[in-house]
Amino acid sequence: ELKVEQNPLFLSMQEGKNYTIYCNYSTTSDRLYWYRQDPGKSLESLFVLLSNGAVKQEGRLMASLDTKARLSTLHITAAVHDLSATYFCAVIRLNTDKLIFGTGTRLQVFP
């Protein structure tokens, strides 16, 4: 059974600091997604990672994928308050179309 784990579950960080969120998954997959969710809102797509070694960056966020280790990271550089949200990673189960989501990381950035 495909399981997706994220850590940490909660992250409180000061503006200007750097931090990394980790996403581990249990079986082979070739697609990994990162989503952002603001309270009471739906999921906003951030990154789609399609192959081993893939790295994508958008603003202060950078995502990478290591398919051999079954690990993805979401790195936050010089955090700002606007990044406060819950971040989910999700993996497509091979030969299916369903997304399997991690538990989410709730990020709070304070001054």
Partner 1 sequence: GAGVSQSPRYKVAKRGQDVALRCDPISGHVSLFWYQQALGQGPEFLTYFQNEAQLDKSGLPSDRFFAERPEGSVSTLKIQRTQQEDSAVYLCASSSTDRGAYNEQFFGPGTRLTVL
3 lies in the site for partner 1, by CB under 8 A: no
Applying CB under 8 A, does 11 fall inside the site for partner 1? Answer: no
For residues 101 and 90, give the distance between their C-alpha atoms in angstroms, rounded to a whole number: 4
Q: Is 19 exposed, middle or buried (0-12, 13-18, 19+ CB in 10 A)?
A: middle
Binding mask 66-105 for partner 1 (x = CB under 8 A): ----------------------x-x-x--xxxxxxxxxx-
Residue 66, CA atoms < 13 Å, CB-side half-sphere: 10
Q: Is 33 in the site for partner 1 (CB under 8 A)?
A: yes
Q: How far is the CB of 104 from partner 1 (least distance, A)?
A: 5
d(CA 32, CA 55): 12
Candidates 19, 22, 43, 75; binder of partner 1 (CB under 8 A) is 43
Residue 56 CB, nearest approach to partner 1 (Å): 13
91 HSE (CA, 13 A, CB side): 26
Q: Which two tokens stand for residue 15?
A: 């503006």
For partner 1, the binding residues (CB under 8 A) are 4, 31, 33, 35, 41-45, 48, 88, 90, 92, 95-104
